[in-house]
Amino acid sequence: MTRGTFRRPEIQIQVEINIAAKRLTDKSFAEPLPALNRQPRLLPAATFTLLIGLLSLAAWFLLDGPCRTAHAQEQPLAAYAIENPTAEGPLMPWGLGPLAVWGSRSALPYHDGRGQDWLYIQDRTGWELHLRIPGELSPNDRSHAGYAFATPNDFWLWSGVLGRAALRHYRLNTQGARIESLTLVRETAQGDQNTRPAGLISLANGALVGAWHQFTYHEDRHLEIGFLYRSPDGRVSTLGPLRVPGRAGTPVATRWALAQHPGDGSIWAFLKRDSYREISAIRLVEDGGRLRVERIVADFIDRRAGLHTPESEFPYLAAVADLQRKVILLAYQNSRQQIFHVADSEGNLVAGVCPEPAGGRLAPHAFAKSAQISIAEIHADGRTSFVDLPAYTERVRPFGLAVEDDIWLMFEAATCRAQGPGAVFTNDEILLTRRRESWLAPQRIGRAETVNNTLAAHIFFNPEWPQFVVRLANGRLHTIERR
């Protein structure tokens, strides 16, 4: 364990009020705002006071109006490097993307250069702590990891592939208000060699819901799925196997997102199968201490959504609850895509929007494609509307989604830019943007470091407020959050 400390911000990111912010266009994404640590120019005191007064008055009339409370200035974002002096080597996070959250506390597991696993816990006030995860976890144990808090001191991990799928319960041991250590309470094996965990979330009443699918081919192309449920009183049960009908495409590789609906408390599970054009939805409810399926809709979002049709390969899914508007926000890469380059067996560029590289050759059979991101706004009765982000990211790359007042999205921009004699496509810098009535111009975060991280997403996000964790090209793990 490392002693709990308060972090010092490396960067303060000033987010401007909506009326002064530059509106988003495609050009805004092509030319993002300057670096995050830009300094404001100082004004004379009298001018500054007058300017603040005018902006406050304008914000009251244009943003809130006479019947709502005014907020003249947005809270700043802060960026921190996550450091553990007891760990050795780089800090490598693992998991499917969403952080575990309880109240103002969030948690993310990682392993260091020795293979020791840690749990990083931080509070929104700036307090942080690193706890050793007891026992030895293998790469298979860390794979497909979802995690959640059932209480402030009960941390649950649902993960593992190739016969290692297991539900693990850890206890945070405290002395007074201080957290001292982490203890493994119970480990329960689940499923078989083909079981693939698909996420774990905590519900408003302290219950937990996890999902899985079977990496098994069936002639009729159905997908076999199931759910874990830990009731508020601590009983663990399973629901399944269940069948999701299949059509054409690869029937086993699947991505998921889970969320509890803020409108009626129902639980929604979304899944997208590789090579399918549909996102399927399963609606579940709690019933007498158990979990019950109300309906399975295999084609919940499909070609009928037009330009919001899901990308046909393997898009990432992220789901969060919008408590203010009583909807679930589901984000994914859509069918508005660009082929950046296609190479033949000798590395010759044969198609794509990117120019031929300076060296004249690509890697044999090189292929790069990007897509835009859609966000579905899903009501409790299933009614759905869409917003989209007019920028491109790689078609399968993870991104981060959060909602608090605005919609916040962190993604890795995809651009045509030579990085050497054999490269014309690059996953460019990490950008952070937000949407109120329209998207605002993005902030540059930096370049992501993904070469050494094959066990997890590379952008992690807090599903309850704007907090994102990403490993940048300087080799350090960073958290960027709204304070």
pLDDT, tens digit, for every residue of 250-279? Answer: 668 899 999 999 999 999 999 999 989 999
pLDDT at 339: 87
Return the closest-CA partner of residue 189 out of 172, 220, 173, 212. Answer: 212
- Please state which of the ranges 55-69, 87-101, 332-346 shows the lowest mean pLDDT: 55-69
Confidence of residue 169 (pLDDT cuts 50, 70, 90): very high
pLDDT at 423 over 80: no
- What does the alpha-carbon distance between residue 159 and residue 188 come to, in Å, rounded to a whole number? 11
pLDDT at 77: 84
For the chain, what percent of residues have pLDDT higher than 90? 59
pLDDT at 11: 56
Confidence of residue 301 (pLDDT cuts 50, 70, 90): very high
Rounded to two decimals, the pTM is 0.85
The residue ranges of every structural domain in the chain are 8-33+43-482
Q: 8-33+43-482 has which fold?
A: Methylamine Dehydrogenase; Chain H (2.130.10)
Confidence of residue 46 (pLDDT cuts 50, 70, 90): very low
- What does the alpha-carbon distance between residue 61 and residue 49 come to, in Å, rounded to a whole number? 19
Total residues belonging to the chain:
483
pLDDT at 78: 87
- What does the alpha-carbon distance between residue 145 and residue 94 come to, in Å, rounded to a whole number? 7
pLDDT at 452 over 70: no
Q: Torsion-angle region of residue 405: left (phi > 0), alpha (psi -120 to 50) or beta?
A: left
pLDDT at 147: 98
Residue 353 makes CB contacts below 8 A (sequence gap 6+) with 338, 339, 340, 416
Mean per-residue pLDDT for 66-79? Answer: 52
Mean per-residue pLDDT for 321-349? Answer: 92
pLDDT at 139: 93
pLDDT at 196: 96
pLDDT at 416 over 80: no
Confidence of residue 31 (pLDDT cuts 50, 70, 90): very low
- Please state which of the ranges 15-29, 220-234, 236-250 shows the lowest mean pLDDT: 15-29
The pair of three-digit structure tokens given for residue 45, joined into one six-digit string? 């005191």
Return the closest-CA partner of residue 74 out of 120, 142, 20. Answer: 20
pLDDT at 358 over 90: no
The one-letter code for the residue type at 302 is D
pLDDT at 426: 62
pLDDT at 290 over 90: yes
pLDDT digit string (tens) for 171-213?
Answer: 999 998 889 999 999 999 999 999 999 999 999 999 999 999 9
- What does the alpha-carbon distance between residue 10 and residue 82 come to, in Å, rounded to a whole number? 10
Residue 171: count of CB within 10 angstroms of its CB = 15
Confidence of residue 102 (pLDDT cuts 50, 70, 90): very high
The one-letter code for the residue type at 186 is R
pLDDT digit string (tens) for 123-157?
Answer: 988 899 999 999 999 999 999 999 999 999 999 99
Q: For tokens 């082929």, what's the residue?
A: 339
Confidence of residue 106 (pLDDT cuts 50, 70, 90): very high
pLDDT digit string (tens) for 370-412?
Answer: 999 999 999 999 999 999 999 999 888 899 999 999 999 999 9
